[in-house]
Chain A
Amino acid sequence: MTEPLFFDNDCLSAFLWVGYENLLVKLYPGRIMIPGHVYLELSSPGVDHLRKRVDLLLSSGDAVQKSIETATKEYIIYRKLTSAPDAGHKIIGKGEAAAISLAKCNDGILASNNLKDIADYVKCYGLKHLTTGDILKEALERSFISEAEGNLIWSKMLAKRRKLGFLSFSDFLAAN
């Protein structure tokens, strides 16, 4: 795989909180894309330390910030998802909408944990999709982490209220 990965806040912040963003750099060199709206969410005063970690990724060239220009295909999708979704769909966050629209229009992969709310869009737009669990599993398969380390990372992410879907990394592996 060489496609760019577009991260939403939930997925990216999970790695930032536990100090494992370098795992993303090792797994996906040159492919980490951070939507501008996700950067803004991570610039909230209470999580300034997360924004500083993102700034390091950006300044080192390990990640690229991607904005959505008005009057583009990305913008049309973004506006629909954040302002006027089809009947039966929830209004989704600006960060996750930006990640979806950028992934769709740049033949990229969506990195998001929020399966419950975005599954329809993944299907509708034919998106490739990775969760935090998928990323850690890939790190395990490439021997960047052990299962025990994965479980420790997992528990720390859960402590920061990240929605990972399973109680432990081992549980995730057993189901995937």
Chain B
Amino acid sequence: MICTSDIMTKSIQLRTKLGEDANSPIDIFALAQDIEQLTIVYYPMGENLSGICLKGAAGNNVISINSSMTVGRQRFSLAHELYHLYFDKNMTAVCAQKIGVGQETEKEADLFASYFLMPAAALQTKVEMLKAKNDSNDLSIYDVIRLEQYFQVSHQAAVIRLRQDKLLNADAADAMISKGVRRLAESIGYSTELYKPLPVEKQYMTYGNYIDQAEQVLKRGLVSDGKYEELLLTAFRSDLVYGDNEEGEEIID
């Protein structure tokens, strides 16, 4: 039996531990990069796998995110894997599938991701504001888009959570969950980046501990320049080996 209040508490605990307040929308990609000894790998993994968490020896952990999924979904997947990393004590390696699918721990991780990205109090406040603005007790599809854009989550994650918190009724949620919203989001002035994967050439990337470790072994004279470059290329960091493709000086602003 999943204890929602326990999951909610854990989501706030982790926000606090990582230096975030309890309510604001977060840049989870930037946040995760600051976690010590964590390597984050972005890799296109097809349709059935959204993320992987590996707890390695000596605290060297890896989270891999399916970069062929939408940016909104990737943010949710990263939050999901953070649950496994911090709270799933019996786990050494786990692969996440679709939202709401899998064993109890997977469902806990989904719930955690939802609360981590959309804190209950903040979501409630935003919903009340939208209802007051519209002078209506119901949320429209445009309101749901405004919420998912504010919290930067996928449309599916937003609808599931609103239904679970009884902020959307079942019929409205069912009608909205499979609705394509990219055009609607554009029509009210939002960027559609949230609903798209990154371009294929940007779907391979590694950040965090691995890159730092490669730099350390080079600095300590343990490996050659060639080995260092091989380590970076293996981690899809050709930008660090050959520089960015953009020409010109770095802009300092």
* CB-based contact A117/B226 at 8 Å: yes
Q: What is the bound-complex CA distance between A114 and B222, given in angstroms?
A: 15
Q: Interface extent on B, as a size class?
A: 20 to 34
How close is A167's CB to chain B, nearest CB, in angstroms? 17
* CB-based contact B201/A114 at 8 Å: no
Q: What is the bound-complex CA distance between A117 and B218, given in angstroms?
A: 12
Interface stretch, picked from A19-27, A38-46, A53-61, A71-79, is A38-46
Asked if B128 is at the interface (CB within 8 A of a chain A CB), the reply is no
Residues of B within 8 A of A114 (CB): 224-226
Residues of A within 8 A of B228 (CB): 93
The main secondary structure of chain A at its interface with chain B is helix
Q: What is the bound-complex CA distance between A94 and B234, given in angstroms?
A: 11
Residues of A within 8 A of B243 (CB): 159-161
* CB-based contact B233/A163 at 8 Å: no
Q: What is the bound-complex CA distance between A159 and B224, given in angstroms?
A: 21
Q: Which of A45, A118, A160 contacts B224 (CB 8 A)?
A: A118
Bitwise interface map of B from 24 to 39 toward A, beta carbon under 8 Å scored 1, else 0 = 0000000000000000
Asked if A91 is at the interface (CB within 8 A of a chain B CB), the reply is yes
Residue with the highest number of chain B CB atoms closer than 10 Å, among A45, A46, A93, A159: A46
Specify the chain A residue showing the minimal Cβ separation from B247. A159
Bitwise interface map of B from 223 to 253 toward A, beta carbon under 8 Å scored 1, else 0 = 1111111100110111101110001000000
Residues of B within 8 A of A96 (CB): 224, 226-227
* CB-based contact A46/B237 at 8 Å: yes
How close is B74's CB to chain A, nearest CB, in angstroms? 17
Bitwise interface map of A from 77 to 108 toward B, beta carbon under 8 Å scored 1, else 0 = 00000000000001111111000000000000
Residues of A within 8 A of B203 (CB): 45
Asked if B180 is at the interface (CB within 8 A of a chain A CB), the reply is no
Q: Which of B201, B223, B226, B234 contacts A9 (CB 8 A)?
A: B226
How close is B193's CB to chain A, nearest CB, in angstroms? 21
Given A9-B229, A96-B227, A159-B247, 17 additional A-B pairs, CB 8 A: A10-B225, A10-B226, A41-B230, A41-B233, A45-B236, A46-B201, A46-B233, A47-B233, A47-B238, A91-B227, A93-B224, A94-B227, A114-B225, A117-B225, A118-B224, A159-B243, A160-B242
Q: List 13 A-B contacts (CB under 8 A).
A: A9-B229, A10-B229, A44-B204, A46-B238, A48-B201, A90-B224, A91-B227, A93-B224, A93-B227, A93-B228, A95-B226, A117-B224, A118-B224
